[in-house]
Chain A
């Protein structure tokens, strides 16, 4: 019995070492020109689907049959989805054809996936797949409108799709309390990490702009503004207004997102 345990332990260690060697040697092909090896593809596909199911199971789906809601979704779909996923009678744009994995045809998704799973994927995105998280790009009402439209999609011919009118008016943003933890997510979602080192955020170690470590203790931000929450929010929303020659671009940060980011950054001391 004891001997068997030793053997199993040794095999496990050997397995980990072999796996580490495989990874470090660079032998695995990360090119998007070819799909993953079949076993890898299936493992990732099952892991993705199980992960979505596990996380979406308690989501309460609102009524999705309302024509006005579907019309909103039609507009969001054309603005944000069709470029990569295509639409009935419309191919994805050229850049999107090179994705690995290829962006799903949402006619099939609408047919096969339950609404709550589609909502979860639209809202959260999928790591390493090219599917972005839309939570910070549209209000919840529009996320559901998009899902409502995707569920309707399989019933539309190409002509129906082309003829269908969208409602592009923006959804009203409700009032929200300031939430530093949401701010931490927003920092990831506005790609702050590609220029700044930010301790506390995984992968944020770029040296393009200054480190945001201890930002809560800083006296001056943007080179000349006193570091108050209101100034930080203003700078996050319109950096080029305060530093016209600066390399930091305006990222279209909303008031709510800027307030949450400023709250999280203010806690870093």
Chain B
């Protein structure tokens, strides 16, 4: 019964839900001004050359040259960059946990 339910749920999540998550993440990336320092594919005006490009970020081995690239580490870096690299030019932007997770999922999907 439970298996059926999961299967039905899985099938009922159409592609647009994934698109909606991506749209939301792109909106957040714009709202936190990430694009003024980084290039980010498919995010309007994200053509900054201050920090490194985030193209293909999902394939990257390290975050900020220091942490292995996984979800939790990326959330931590987005929320509190100086806790990872005290000298980084990337400021603390006051990103909440939920928003950080949504942006991290999008960035890690870029290949």
Query: Measuring CB to CB, which residues of chain A are less than 8 angstroms from any residue of chain B?
Result: 195, 197, 207-211, 213-214, 217-220, 222-224, 242-243, 245-248
Contact = CB atoms under 8 A, between A and B. Distances in A.
B87 A214 contact: no
Nearest to B39: A214
B49 A210 contact: no
Task: Name the residue in A197, A207, A209, A211 with the highest tally of chain B Cβ atoms < 10 Å from its Cβ.
Answer: A207
13 contacts: A195-B61, A197-B56, A211-B55, A217-B49, A218-B49, A218-B52, A223-B64, A223-B65, A223-B89, A223-B90, A224-B88, A247-B66, A248-B65
B51 A220 contact: yes
A51 to B, nearest CB: 36
Given A207-B56, A207-B59, A242-B87, A220 B65 contact: no
Interface in B49-70: 49-53, 55-56, 59-62, 64-66
B50 A245 contact: no
B77 to A, nearest CB: 11
A207 B52 CA distance: 12
Main SS class of interface, A? loop
Given A209-B65, A223-B90, 9 more contacts: A207-B61, A211-B55, A214-B39, A220-B89, A223-B87, A224-B85, A245-B84, A247-B66, A248-B65
Contacts of B87: 223-224, 242-243
A220 B65 CA distance: 14
Contacts of A247: 61-62, 65-66
Most buried by B among A218, A223, A246: A223
A208 B60 CA distance: 5
A238 to B, nearest CB: 14
Contacts of A220: 50-51, 89
A220 to B, nearest CB: 5
Contacts of B90: 223
A197 B39 CA distance: 15
B64 to A, nearest CB: 6
B57 to A, nearest CB: 9
Contacts of B60: 207-210
Contact of B65 (A197, A207, A211, A243): A243
Given A223-B85, A223-B87, A245-B85, A208 B50 contact: no
A245 B49 contact: no
A243 B66 contact: yes
A58 to B, nearest CB: 43
Contact of B62 (A209, A211, A214): A209
Contacts of B51: 218, 220, 223
Contact of A211 (B50, B52, B85): B52
Contacts of B62: 208-209, 247
Given A208-B61, A208-B62, A214 B88 contact: no
Contacts of A213: 53
A219 B55 CA distance: 17
A220 B53 CA distance: 12
Report the 6 A-B pairs with minimum CB-CB distance, sorted nearest first: A210-B52, A207-B59, A208-B61, A219-B50, A246-B65, A223-B88
